[in-house]
Amino acid sequence: MKRLSEILENVPFEGVVEDAIQITGLTADSREVKPGMLFIAVKGHTVDGHKYINKAIENGAAAVVSEHEIETEKAIIVKVSDSRKSLAKIAESYYDSPSSKFHLIGITGTNGKTSVASLLFQLCRNEGMNCGLISTIKYQINEVEYASKFTTPDAIKLQSLMDEMAKAKCELVFMEVSSHAIDQGRIDELEFDGALFTNITHDHLDYHGTFRHYIDTKKKFFDNLDRDAIAIVNSDDKHGEYMLQNTKAKSKSFALKRLADYKGKVLSNDLFGLQMKINEQEVFLKLTGLFNAYNMLAVYALANELELIEKSKLLSGITALRPIEGRMDVVAIQSRNALGVVDYAHTPDALKNVLSSIAEFKRKKVITIIGCGGDRDRAKRPKMAKIAIQLSDLVIITSDNPRSEDPEFILDEMEEGLSKEEKQKLIRITDREQAIKTGIQFLAEQDILLVAGKGHEKYQEINGIKMPFDDKEKIAAFS
């Protein structure tokens, strides 16, 4: 337990806090409040935590951080001007600044975050280091795994996770940094030693409103780095240089097309892996696809700059790296002598990258199964269908995670803008299981079936209920 006055030491607040008040834990969710806890009322994107202050006090909150004056004798009320900013400071103080106890690396961008973070974690674990991972797929401390709900968790969960990582003697922690987390101040009190930018394309406009706001939000991550940190960007992306415009950190770049500090060249790319050069050193990689060439180049650049492992071991280290689950994940469909590919591609650019890579494998026919998530960026729906049609021989549009939306309405929006000729290559099957079964039935020898959008996910969310659903398992069941 900690004294409330100690937790609030660096938080600007009105009034005086009694020094004897002991806090047993933190939460910003009134349902999680237990006797003795501190409840922070935060204004969210859709919900205002101030509405639940009375409920939190009923559940036993010892103190409440609020932007409003509250009259009660049952709990200490700490008034602040911005409870969201205070939340990050409070969590960092409560857990004794855990991110200062190891090297913290943040990876941001639209696509590639999960792969780069996971590959860096795998690289360092293979060398016997104690490491932490915070990603879309999972949170992991050495060999202990936890399910992840968000790409970047809330400030309390984030600091709690990092406290566990510090106690586990982690030397390095690799985390995905989402634009939501940057914008909402979840990472404000973290000490980053390194930051990496993969790319930026159309996504999350349901939240950010404009592409400019999305870009500028990513840039804030680099603007706030210390002088001792390293910032590495993909200079083939035209926004790479913009990310570095106001950073104080040491900056480096990687690229396949342009001049860069870390220059890569793809020599061959097939279903068995990538042959490429990195700064004139030839290496074979078990991952496949042009986008994975960028991911591996990013891993090499960051590992080399931060001297994560000895230079003499670095090339052999990345050669040993295994593909990430749900990212260009190849499955044999033996009954058809064909192949299935499961990929998380859920943005127009990611889908284009995956289909462009598949085209290089020179298979006879490509069948793509694709959907779009409900309650998310609607503007990308027709773009996803258009790209799939342009780069496939046959497309089946189906449900992804419709969430609270009508699946049929989502498919209607995906079809918008397709010509009559393009629709001749389109089949509409709302049920995702039936769509996968049908896609396999259309396969002939040497064909490829791409099932995109959900990747590693083991569920399908419909009307607020997450039901078990695994694309790879469904492909295997119908093979």
pLDDT at 155: 94
Q: Write out the residue range of the structural domain in which residue 166 sits.
A: 98-319
Q: For 61-94, how does the pLDDT look when each residue is reduced to its tens digit (9 = 90+)?
A: 999 999 999 989 899 999 999 999 999 999 999 9
pLDDT tens sequence across 407-416: 999 999 999 9
Structurally, the chain folds into a number of domains equal to 3
Q: Which residues, in sequence order, are CB contacts of 325 under 8 Å at separation 6+?
A: 137, 455, 456
Per-residue model confidence as pLDDT tens digits over 330-375: 899 999 999 999 999 999 988 999 999 898 887 789 999 999 999 9
CA of 311: how far to CAs of 129, 306, 316, 317, in Å?
Answer: 16, 11, 10, 10
Query: Is residue 44 a contact partner of residue 30, using CB atoms and an 8 Å limit?
Result: no
Same domain, 116 and 193: yes
Predicted confidence (pLDDT) per residue in 96-108, tens digit: 999 999 999 999 9
Provide the pLDDT for residue 168: 98
> Sign of torsion, CA 348 354 359 365?
negative
Residue 219 CA, chain-centre distance (Å), reads: 17
Instruction: Give the residue-averaged pLDDT of 39-43.
Output: 94
Q: In the listed set 44, 76, 94, which residue is the last one of a domain according to the structure? A: 94
For position 204, what pLDDT does the model report? 61
- Is residue 186 one of the residues assigned to a domain? yes
Is 397 in the same domain as 465?
A: yes
pLDDT at 150 over 80: no
Please check whether residue 429 lies inside any domain of the structure.
Answer: yes
Q: pLDDT tens for residues 206-261?
A: 676 788 999 999 999 999 999 999 999 999 999 999 999 999 999 999 999 999 99
| CATH label of the domain that carries residue 89 | 3.40.1390.10
Q: Is residue 44 assigned to a domain?
A: yes
What are the distances in angstroms from CA 315 to CA 4, 148, 283, 345, 431?
50, 31, 7, 28, 45
Look at residue 140 and tell me if it is in a domain.
yes
203 has pLDDT over 70: no
Percent helix, strand, coil in the chain (nearest 5)? Answer: 35, 25, 40
Radius of gyration (C-alpha) of the chain in whole angstroms: 24
Q: Where are the beta strands (DSSP E) in 211-303?
A: 230-234, 250-255, 262-270, 273-278, 281-285
Residues 467-476: what's their mean pLDDT?
A: 96
Q: Which residue has the tokens 């389109």?
A: 426
CATH number at residue 359: 3.90.190.20
Of 319, 340, 361, the residue that ends a domain is 319
Upper half-sphere CA count for residue 356 (Cβ side, 13 Å): 12
Mean pLDDT across the stretch 255-276?
94
173 and 313 within one domain: yes
Residue 335 has a CB neighbour count (10 Å cut-off) of 10
Task: Establish if 294 belongs to a structural domain.
Answer: yes
The answer to the question of residue 70 being in a domain is yes
Same domain assignment for residues 283 and 249? yes
Same domain, 238 and 353: no
Q: Are 206 and 376 in contact (CB under 8 A)?
A: yes
Q: What is the mean pLDDT of residues 180-202?
A: 93
393 close to 449: Cβ distance less than 8 angstroms = no
Both 83 and 133 in one domain: the answer is no
Say yes or no: 113 and 30 in one domain: no
- Residue 304 near residue 318, CB atoms below 8 Å: no
Say if residue 436 is in the same domain as residue 466.
yes
| Co-location of 149 and 215 in the same domain | yes
- Of the three residues 70, 94, 118, the one that is the final residue of a domain is 94
For tokens 């790296």, what's the residue?
321
Residue 324 domain flag: no
pLDDT digits (tens, 9 = 90+) for 285-300: 999 989 999 999 999 9
Please report the pLDDT score of residue 375 as a whole number: 92
Residues 268, 348, single domain; the answer is: no
CA dihedral defined by 176, 286, 477, 458, rounded to 10 degrees? -10
- Global pTM reads 0.86
Are residues 229 and 120 part of one domain?
Answer: yes
For residue 462, being part of any structural domain is answered with yes
CATH of the domain at 168: 3.40.1190.10
402 with 463, same domain: the answer is: yes
Indicate if the pLDDT at residue 205 is higher than 70. no
**What is the predicted pLDDT for the residue at 201?**
84
Q: Do residues 228 and 125 touch, judged by C-beta distance below 8 A?
A: no
Alpha helices (runs of H) in 152-228, residue ranges in sequence order: 155-167, 179-183, 205-208, 211-223
- The whole-number pLDDT of residue 300 equals 98
- Give the pLDDT score at 149: 77
pLDDT at position 448? 95
Looking at residue 202, its pLDDT comes to: 66
